Amino acid sequence: RGSEPGTAGTQWFVSLGDFPEMREGTVIGEVVTGMDVVDRISQVSTWPDRVPYHRVAIESVTLVGGEPGR
């Protein structure tokens, strides 16, 4: 949306492979367990712009490792 304060979005993506279109993105993690769930999500039917027909919700995310406060 721009670089002005208060204009950042809160989307994040789980990529199933290389994603060169995401040049300005930041990698924030990786799937370490539950890849079967990612595979099921990847099978959801979508509109031509890749938006799912039905809402897909992530109910929980667990931080594993990493540095506190980062």
Looking at residues 39-52, what average pLDDT do you find? 90
* pTM of the entire predicted model: 0.57
Q: What is the pLDDT of residues 4-27, one digit of tens each?
A: 777 766 777 788 877 777 777 777
Q: Higher pLDDT residue, 16 or 44?
A: 44
Listed as own residue / partner, the contacts of 14-17 with beta carbons closer than 8 Å and 24 or more positions apart are 14/38, 14/41, 16/42
